[in-house]
């Protein structure tokens, strides 16, 4: 199969929704014309990689993003943390110029979006939530074909593929079909593919969803390597541990609103500030009166009583002798922050 034939195969596999982000929006064609991918690049000197100012987006009567404001500094990992339906994917689509906001302003890599989305996208790499690799092509061929969407010649792509394979730790799998790879390897290849144009900004939508713990840790290690190289990462996730490990700062989303923003540990200290004792195995509502005098705050979720106590030993003393109870004392985390702010647990 020739390279052109392989390109057409992958184009059919990706489908129109995946390809749309590489097409020139009508507004830009009219205002700026068909500019070569090599003729200009986004501003790499800006200290702010992304800025959302009062952005709102609705579908019908449903507000999906509600007057959202945040800024992402160049070189940091910024997390968008929230359950399904919190607006994370819509935010990512607006950032890429695939969806127009109803109100507010978006600037990406120094240029306005969606007005100049095509220019912004030259400096962006995208890792979608679900891999859309071509199973019939090899690892190397997937990278070659994807480079064409950025106007790269075969020679240009081949020059960077060895370093991408090394980054993904797929040197020995370069000529293997994608269908032969494990889930973790496919995810690493998708990340490597997003780097084909040496982007300044990388948008990662739930990058470790569906992976086993070993593969998840491998992806985290690769993301830290990108940050060490000065890349800017926007990470959408509902995994609390992932956000705590990787993000310099994050925005906690609830129904499209920014309900808290800051560093992971700073948010934990601000909203929790003590250890957490989980109590389960009994009626949590019956236990409330026993532990409440010794707790800063108590939350009930399902059959679990969350006790935020400066002195956990006092809580243990109150519960001594009660059969069937199980107690777990642990440090506070972002799950507790979300529960504190919304009154419910994070949902996948």
What distance in Å separates the CA atoms of residue 185 and residue 53, rounded to the nearest whole number? 37
Model pLDDT for residues 299-315, shown as the tens digit of each residue: 888 888 999 988 999 99
Q: In this model, does residue 29 exceed pLDDT 50?
A: no
Please give the structure tokens belonging to residue 222: 């690769």
Q: In this model, does residue 34 exceed pLDDT 50?
A: no
> Which CATH architecture group holds 3-263?
3-Layer(aba) Sandwich (3.40)
CB 272 within 8 A of CB 332: yes
Integer angstrom CA distances of residue 278 from 231, 275, 298, 303, 304 = 38, 10, 10, 10, 7
Give me the CATH topology for the region 274-331.
Alpha-Beta Plaits (3.30.70)
Model pLDDT for residues 277-296, shown as the tens digit of each residue: 999 988 888 888 889 998 98
pLDDT, greater one: 7 or 150: 150
pLDDT, greater one: 84 or 273: 273
Q: Could you state, in order of their start, the residue ranges of all structural domains in the chain?
A: 3-263, 274-331
Model pLDDT for residues 205-263, shown as the tens digit of each residue: 888 888 888 888 888 998 999 999 999 999 998 888 899 999 999 999 999 999 999 99
CB 181 within 8 A of CB 139: yes
Model pLDDT for residues 152-211, shown as the tens digit of each residue: 999 999 999 999 999 999 999 999 999 999 988 998 999 999 999 999 999 998 888 888
pLDDT, greater one: 84 or 112: 112
Q: From its phi and psi, is residue 121 left (phi > 0), alpha (psi between -120 and 50) or beta? A: alpha
Which residues have a Cβ under 8 Å from the Cβ of 317 and sit 6 or more positions away? none
Q: How confident is the model at residue 340 (pLDDT cuts 50, 70, 90)?
A: confident
For the chain, give the percent of residues with pLDDT over 90: 55
């Amino acid at each position: 199969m020739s390279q052109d034939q392989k390109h057409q195969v992958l184009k059919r596999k990706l489908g129109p929704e995946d390809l749309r982000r590489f097409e020139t929006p009508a507004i830009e064609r009219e205002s700026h014309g068909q500019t070569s991918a090599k003729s200009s690049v986004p501003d790499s000197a800006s200290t702010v990689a992304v800025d959302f100012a009062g952005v709102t987006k609705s579908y019908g009567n449903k507000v999906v993003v509600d007057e959202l404001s945040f800024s992402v500094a160049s070189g940091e990992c910024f997390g968008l943390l929230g359950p399904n339906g919190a607006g994370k994917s819509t935010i990512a689509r607006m950032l890429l110029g695939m969806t127009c906001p109803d109100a507010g302003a978006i600037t990406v890599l120094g240029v306005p979006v969606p007005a100049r989305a095509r220019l912004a996208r030259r400096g962006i790499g995208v890792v979608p939530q679900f891999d859309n690799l071509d199973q019939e092509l090899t690892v190397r061929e997937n990278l070659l074909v994807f480079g064409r969407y950025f106007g790269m010649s075969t020679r240009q792509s081949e020059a960077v593929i060895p370093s991408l394979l090394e980054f993904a730790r797929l040197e020995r799998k370069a000529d293997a079909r994608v269908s032969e790879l494990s889930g973790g390897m496919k995810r690493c290849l998708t990340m490597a593919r997003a780097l084909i144009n040496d982007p300044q900004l990388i948008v990662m939508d739930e990058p470790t969803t569906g992976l086993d713990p070993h593969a998840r840790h491998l992806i985290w290690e690769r993301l830290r390597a990108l940050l060490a190289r000065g890349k800017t990462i926007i990470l959408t996730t509902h995994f609390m541990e992932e956000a705590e490990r990787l993000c310099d700062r994050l925005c906690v989303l609830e129904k499209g609103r920014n309900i808290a923003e800051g560093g992971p540990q700073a948010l934990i200290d601000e909203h929790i500030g003590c250890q957490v004792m989980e109590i389960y195995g009994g009626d949590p509502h019956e236990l409330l009166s026993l532990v409440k005098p010794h707790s800063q705050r108590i939350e009930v979720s399902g059959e679990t009583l969350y006790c935020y106590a400066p002195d956990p030993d006092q809580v243990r003393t109150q519960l001594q002798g009660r059969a069937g109870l199980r107690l777990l004392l642990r440090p506070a985390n972002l799950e507790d922050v979300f529960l504190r702010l919304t009154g419910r647990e994070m949902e996948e």
